[in-house]
Amino acid sequence: MIDDLKHQAIEHFLHFGLENDKELIEIVELAAAVANVPYAVITFLDNDTVYLKIGKGMTVTSSPRHLSFCTHIVNKNEVVIVTDTLKDERFYDHPKVSGGPGLRFFAGIPILAPNGNKIGSLIVLDKKPHTLDTHQQLVLKILGNQIMKIIEARATSELLNKKQAELEEQKVLNIQANIRLRSFFESSTNFQVLLNRNAEVIDFNKTAYNFIRAVHKTEMKTGDQFIKYLHPEFVATFIDKYQLTLQGTKCAVEGSTDYDELGIIWWEASFDVARDANNEIIGVSYIIRNVTERKLKEQKILAQNASLIKIAHIQAHEFRAPLTTIMGLMYLIKEENYEAPSEYIELLEQAVDALDTTIRHIVRDIDDMVIDNYAEKTAVADKK
C-alpha cells in the first residue's frame, strides 16, 4: 500500500512543481556539459503526450508521444545513441530533423520508477552529428538514476507533508471532540466517574469532585481506589454490580444514604460498560443521580393519600354517629308533635356541634393539602 501511495505521489509530482527544482536543473546542466552538447532535457510520459519539464536550450514544453525521441528511448533498458539522425531511416524525415530545429544527434537514458515503469527520460541533443564515449554514457546513466532518486525524495516529502497535514487536521478534530465531550461531561449535574477494571479512578466530572470533597473532606484524584469513598453498607452491593458490569451486563440500583451534614440523600446508581476503540471492556462508567426531591414528593403524595383515606374513614364512621343522633331526635320531636322537651333540644345541639367539629377537622385537613400543593407549585414557578 505504501508503494502504491508513493507511486501516486510520484505521478502527481511529475505534473507539478518540477520546473524550478534546483537539483534537477543542475542535472540537466551537467548532462549537457558532460555530453558537450547545447541541449539537454528531462521528459515525462503521459498516455499520449511527452512533457519536457526541465530543459537546457529548449523552449518546447510538450510534444505528441509518437513524435518524441523519448518514445524510442523508453523502449530500451540502456543508453540509446543516435549519432546522425539524417543517416538513420527512423529519423531522417522526422519533423525535428528535416525541419526546425534540425536536430542531428540525440542520446538518452530511461528514467525508471520504483515499480519498474519507465516514466520518462534524460536526453542530450545537438544540431550536428555526435557520439558519447563510455565515460560519458556512464555519467548519463548515473544522472538518470539520480533524477529518480530526487523525484522519490520529493514525492516522499510531499506524501509525508500531506499525512502530517491530515494528522494535524485530525488532531484538531479530536481536540474539538474532546472539548465537546468534556463540556457535556462537566455540565452534567449527575455524579460521574470512569473507573478501570480494578475500580481505580480514570476520570471524573466536577459534580463528583465537589461531592467527594464535601462529604469526605478530601480531593478525589486519578488513580484513587474508588471503593474508599463508598458508604460501608453499600460496598458489597457495589462490588457485585461492578463485577457483573465488567462481564458486559448493565446494572442499576437505588437507595438512600445518611451523609450527616448533608442529610439523607436518595439516589439511583447505574453501572455502564466502558469500552476502548477496539470494543474491549476497559472499565465501568459509574453514574449517580440525586433523586431526593422526587422521593420526598413521592412520600408527600403517600402522606396525602393517607389523609384522604382518613377523611374517607371519618365520612364513613364519625359522620354517622352525630347524624344518627340527629335523625333519632328528629323522629322523637316529630312523635311529640314538634313540642319537644328541652332535653331533646340540648341533645340535638350537642349532635350538631359534634357534626360541625368533625366537618371543621375535614376542612382543615383538606386546606392543609391544598395550601401545601399551592406553595410547592409557586416555589417551582419562581425557580423557573
Q: Where are the domains of the chain?
A: 2-163, 188-290, 295-383
Asked whether the bond before 129 is cis by omega within 30 degrees of 0, the reply is no
Do the domains at 2-163 and 188-290 have one common CATH topology? Answer: yes
Say if residues 45 and 70 touch (Cβ distance below 8 Å).
yes
Tens place of pLDDT for every residue, the chain, 384 residues?
Answer: 445 544 554 565 555 567 788 999 999 999 999 999 999 999 888 777 787 778 888 776 778 887 888 888 988 889 999 999 999 999 989 888 988 789 999 999 998 888 788 888 999 999 999 999 999 999 999 999 998 888 888 878 888 888 999 998 888 877 776 666 666 667 788 999 999 999 999 999 989 999 999 988 999 999 999 999 998 889 999 999 999 999 999 999 999 988 888 888 999 999 999 998 889 999 999 999 998 888 888 778 777 777 666 666 666 566 666 667 766 767 677 776 666 677 767 777 777 777 777 777 766 766 665 555 545 544 544 444
Give residue 174's pLDDT: 76
CA 286 to chain CA centroid, Å, is: 21
The C-alpha cell of 106 is what? 540525440
The C-alpha cell of 31 is what? 548532462
Residue-wise DSSP of 253-309: EEEEEE-GGG-EEEEEEEEEEEE-TTS-EEEEEEEEEE-HHHHHHHHHHHHHHHHHH
Give residue 239's pLDDT: 94
Can you tell me the distance from the alpha carbon of 192 to that of 208, in angstroms, rounded to the nearest whole number? Answer: 6
The C-alpha cell of 7 is what? 507511486
What is the residue type of 228? K
Q: How far from 35 is each of 82, 123, 131, 145, 187, CA to CA, in Å?
A: 13, 10, 8, 17, 75
Give residue 374's pLDDT: 45
Give residue 224's pLDDT: 94
Indicate the helix (H) or strand (E) that contains 230. none
- DSSP state letter for 113: P
Say if residues 266 and 294 touch (Cβ distance below 8 Å).
yes
Domain spanning 188-290: which superfamily?
PAS domain (3.30.450.20)
Give residue 7's pLDDT: 54
**CATH tag for 2-163 (out of 3.90.1150.110, 3.30.450.40, 3.30.300.30, 2.60.40.150):** 3.30.450.40
Give residue 378's pLDDT: 47
Give residue 306's pLDDT: 73
Whose cell is 473532606? That residue is 217
Indicate the helix (H) or strand (E) that contains 207. helix 206-216
Can you tell me the distance from the alpha carbon of 136 to that of 31, in angstroms, rounded to the nearest whole number? Answer: 9
